[in-house]
Structure 1
Amino acid sequence: MLEFCFEMDSRIKKPVYHMLSHLFYLQIVQTLFGRPIMECAAKGRGDPCFSGRPRRRCGLCGAVAYCSSKHQMLDWNNHREECARLAQQMQRADFLSDFPFSFSVDAEHTELEKWLTRCSFLISIGLHLKPMWICECSCWHGSIYLDNNSRLIDEWSLPSSLCPCSEPRSSIRVHVDSWKDYYLWRCLPFYSPAALILHWPLTVYHCIQLSALQSLISKTSDQLHIHYLGPYKELCQLAAFAELRALIPGVQLHIDFVGPAVPQSRDGETIILDKYAKCSCVSCSCKSSCEDTNMGSCHMKSTVTLKLHRGFYHDKCEYMDSHPDLIIAPNAGIAAYPSWSQSIDLINKISIPAIFTDYCEEAAFLASQCIRAVTGRPLTIPIQVNPFRQPLLMEDQALFLPCYSNCFLFGM
Structure 2
Amino acid sequence: MECAGKGRGTRCAGPAKRRCARCGAVGYCSVTHQLSHRSAHKEECARLEQQMKHSDALNAFPFTYCQEATIEICEKLVSRCSFLSKRGIHQVGMWMYECKCQSLGNSFEDLRFCAFTIVGIFRECYAHVENCAGPVSPISDHLSGWEDYYRWRHIPFHSPVALLLQWPMLIYHAIQITSARISTIGTSKELRVHYVGPEKELLQLPAFGELQALFPGMRMHIELVGPAVPEHRDGETIKVGGYAQCSDTDCDCKSTSSQGSKSLDTAYDSTVILQLRRGCYHDIYRNISEESFPHLIVAPNAGIAAYSSWLPTIELIHKMNVPAVFSDYCEEACHLATRCINTVAGISFSLPIQLNPFRQPMAVEDNALLLPCYSNCFLLGI
Residue of structure 2 equivalent to 1:242: 209
Measure how far apart 1:188 and its partner are: 0.8
| Gap regions ≥5 residues in structure 1 | 1-37
Residue of structure 2 equivalent to 1:49: 12
- 2:309 pairs with 1:339: yes
The answer to whether the Cα contact below 8 Å between 2:198 and 2:228 also exists between their aligned partners in 1 is yes
- 2:280 pairs with 1:318: no
Of structures 1 and 2, the one with the larger relative CO (CA 8 A, separation 6+) is: 2
Q: Work out the CA distance in 2 between the residues paired with 1:241 and 1:109.
A: 27
Measure how far apart 1:388 and its partner are: 0.4
Residue of structure 2 equivalent to 1:406: 376
Residues 106-163 of structure 1: CA deviation (Å, up to 9, x unaligned): 745796x45x610100000011011111110221211111111222532442556618
Residue of structure 2 equivalent to 1:146: 108
Q: Work out the CA distance in 2 between the residues paired with 1:49 and 1:372.
A: 35
- 2:193 pairs with 1:226: yes
Match of 2:179 among 188, 212, 215: 212
Residue type matched to 2:8 in 1? R
Q: Work out the CA distance in 2 between the residues paired with 1:108 and 1:251.
A: 40
- 2:317 pairs with 1:350: no
Residue of structure 1 equivalent to 2:277: 309
| SS, match of residue 217 in structure 1 | coil
Residues 212-232 of structure 1: CA deviation (Å, up to 9, x unaligned): 159743554211111000111
- 2:88 pairs with 1:126: yes
Match of 1:378 among 345, 348, 358: 348
385-394 vs 346-355, which moves further: 346-355
Match of 2:227 among 251, 255, 260: 260
Q: Please give the root-mean-square deviation of Cα atoms over the aligned residues, in Å.
A: 2.6
- 2:23 pairs with 1:76: no
Residues 274-317 of structure 1: CA deviation (Å, up to 9, x unaligned): 21246555666878897147x99765741011100111101110
Q: Work out the CA distance in 1 between the residues paired with 2:215 and 2:52.
A: 35
181-190 vs 148-157, which moves further: 148-157
The answer to whether the Cα contact below 8 Å between 1:331 and 1:405 also exists between their aligned partners in 2 is yes
Residue type matched to 1:41 in 2? A
Q: Work out the CA distance in 1 between the residues paired with 2:133 and 2:318.
A: 39
Q: Do the aligned partners of residues 330 and 86 (structure 1) sit closer, same or farther apart at CA in structure 2, a change above 3 Å counting?
A: same
Residue type matched to 2:175 in 1? I
Q: What is the correspondence of 1:278-289 to structure 2 with a 5 Å cutoff?
A: 279-281=246-248
Q: Do the aligned partners of residues 214 and 370 (structure 1) sit closer, same or farther apart at CA in structure 2, a change above 3 Å counting?
A: closer
Q: Do the aligned partners of residues 238 and 214 (structure 1) sit closer, same or farther apart at CA in structure 2, a change above 3 Å counting?
A: farther
Q: Do the aligned partners of residues 228 and 240 (structure 1) sit closer, same or farther apart at CA in structure 2, a change above 3 Å counting?
A: same
Q: Work out the CA distance in 1 between the residues paired with 2:185 and 2:262.
A: 19
What is the identity percentage for the equivalent residue pairs of Structure 1 and Structure 2?
50
Q: Work out the CA distance in 2 between the residues paired with 1:333 and 1:143.
A: 19
The answer to whether the Cα contact below 8 Å between 2:213 and 2:243 also exists between their aligned partners in 1 is no
Q: Work out the CA distance in 2 between the residues paired with 1:245 and 1:108.
A: 34
Residue of structure 1 equivalent to 2:338: 368
| SS, match of residue 98 in structure 1 | coil
The answer to whether the Cα contact below 8 Å between 2:196 and 2:297 also exists between their aligned partners in 1 is yes
Q: Do the aligned partners of residues 286 and 144 (structure 1) sit closer, same or farther apart at CA in structure 2, a change above 3 Å counting?
A: farther
The answer to whether the Cα contact below 8 Å between 2:356 and 2:379 also exists between their aligned partners in 1 is yes
Residues 380-400 of structure 1: CA deviation (Å, up to 9, x unaligned): 100000000111001121110
Residue type matched to 1:146 in 2? F
Residue type matched to 1:373 in 2? T
Q: Do the aligned partners of residues 374 and 167 (structure 1) sit closer, same or farther apart at CA in structure 2, a change above 3 Å counting?
A: farther
Residue type matched to 2:270 in 1? S
TM-score (norm 2): 0.90
Q: Work out the CA distance in 2 between the residues paired with 1:64 and 1:338.
A: 25
| SS, match of residue 203 in structure 1 | helix
| Gap regions ≥5 residues in structure 2 | none
Q: Work out the CA distance in 2 between the residues paired with 1:216 and 1:336.
A: 33
TM-score (norm 1): 0.83
Q: Do the aligned partners of residues 398 and 182 (structure 1) sit closer, same or farther apart at CA in structure 2, a change above 3 Å counting?
A: same
Q: Work out the CA distance in 1 between the residues paired with 2:123 and 2:370.
A: 32
Residue type matched to 1:311 in 2? G
